Structure 1
Amino acid sequence: MLILGLDPGLGTTGWGVIRADGNRLSHVANGQIRTDASMALPRRLALLHGAIVEVVRSYDLDGAAVEEVLGNSNAQSTLKLGQARGMALLAAAQADLVIGEYHPSVVKKAVVGTGGAEKKQVQAMVARLLPGAKVAGADAADALAVAITHAHHVATARRLIPTRAPLS
């Protein structure tokens, strides 16, 4: 199963693709999409959407996961982050991908074991879980962590679905 993880941001959106085969995870690709702060907001959003669409088209994905917005004291920044997140959700939805959405504390708990983990701890665990991956930056590491979280949640859901013997 190929999973795209997205860590949305208006300035920088991280993305990462992993392969999940049961409990085995492997790195496929990752990167960061940057927009120029001097550009008009609608143009930045359009560029972000187009770049995510290109990532989606580049892989035969089975699903996607997007980190939820963590509100902060600056309402304007939170709103812009939400708009960038909307572009990520739209690009994945247009490809008919099943999309998981995860709060940052859920991602930290899934990857590190505690919801209050520091960014450095998340990056260290991503490196450990995906050995050999050359991570493009902090946002790409966060995106890979979101993909790992989705892989864990999907695997757990599959184990919980009861199997039924065929009626004979």
Structure 2
Amino acid sequence: MRVLGIDPGYAIVGWGVVEYAGNRFAPVAYGAVCTDKDTPFEQRLCEVYDGVLDICKRYQPQALSLEKLYYQHNQTTVIGVAEARGVILLAAAQCGIPIYEYTPMQVKQAVTGYGKAVKKQIQEMTRILLKLPAIPKPDDTADALAMAVAHCHCATSRLSGLR
């Protein structure tokens, strides 16, 4: 199974493609789509869309794993992130990629086995599972890889429950 994990945003969209077979993970590619703060917001959304569409076409994932949006502190930021999520979802839908959403607690549980793990624990466990020499930077990229790993664990758990 090939999964694209995305940490949504409009300044930085972390992404990571992971291959999962036989309980083994292999990183395929990862990085970030970055937009300039001085660029008009609507153009930033175009850049996010184009970047994610290119990733979807280039790596042809079988699933997109994305964090569920939740309101944290800044109402202005959450609206912008929601709009960025919209263009991300559109790009995936246009490529025919099924979309799966997970809460932060579900990701923590799936990656570390502990629903209240801290960010560094998640990043380190993701690094170990993917056999990476270091935690990818920026943090958004590491978070995106964790999203992909979480979906691999959750999807196979769902499938094994169907047997």
Structure 1-normalised TM-score? 0.91
SS of residue matched to 1:17:
strand
> What's the offset of the Cα at 1:61?
1.6
Task: Summarize the alignment of residues 108-127 of structure 1 with structure 2, pairs less than 5 Å apart.
Answer: 108-127=108-127
Tell me the equivalent position of 1:143.
144
Are residue 129 (structure 1) and residue 98 (structure 2) matched? Answer: no
Tell me the equivalent position of 1:49.
49
SS of residue matched to 1:150:
helix
Q: How many percent of aligned residue pairs carry the same amino acid?
A: 36
SS of residue matched to 1:143:
helix
Structure 1 residue identity aligned to 2:4: L
The Cα offsets for residues 71-108 of structure 1, whole Å up to 9 and x where unpaired, read as: 12221111111111112111111111111101111111
Select between 129-138 and 16-25 the one with higher mean Cα deviation: 129-138
Contact 1:27 1:133 in 2 (8 A): no
Q: Distance in 1 between matches of 2:60 and 2:133?
A: 20
Q: Distance in 2 between matches of 1:153 and 1:115?
A: 14
Structure 1 residue identity aligned to 2:146: A
> What's the offset of the Cα at 1:114?
1.9
Instruction: Give the number of equivalent residue pairs.
Output: 162
SS of residue matched to 2:116:
coil
Q: 1:42 and 1:25, CA in 2 relative to 1: closer, same or farther beyond 3 A?
A: same
Select between 95-104 and 129-138 the one with higher mean Cα deviation: 129-138
Tell me the equivalent position of 2:17.
17
Tell me the equivalent position of 2:106.
106
Q: Distance in 2 between matches of 1:126 and 1:137?
A: 14
> What's the offset of the Cα at 1:60?
2.6
Contact 1:14 1:31 in 2 (8 A): yes
Q: Distance in 1 between matches of 2:83 and 2:133?
A: 29
The unaligned stretches of length 5 or more in structure 1 are 163-168
Q: Distance in 2 between matches of 1:111 and 1:21?
A: 16
> What's the offset of the Cα at 1:133?
5.7
> What's the offset of the Cα at 1:154?
1.2
Structure 1 residue identity aligned to 2:6: L
Q: Distance in 2 between matches of 1:108 and 1:52?
A: 24
Contact 1:66 1:88 in 2 (8 A): no
Q: Distance in 1 between matches of 2:116 and 2:12?
A: 23
Structure 2-normalised TM-score? 0.94
Structure 1 residue identity aligned to 2:65: A
The unaligned stretches of length 5 or more in structure 2 are none
SS of residue matched to 1:161:
coil
Select between 137-146 and 66-75 the one with higher mean Cα deviation: 66-75
Contact 1:62 1:98 in 2 (8 A): yes
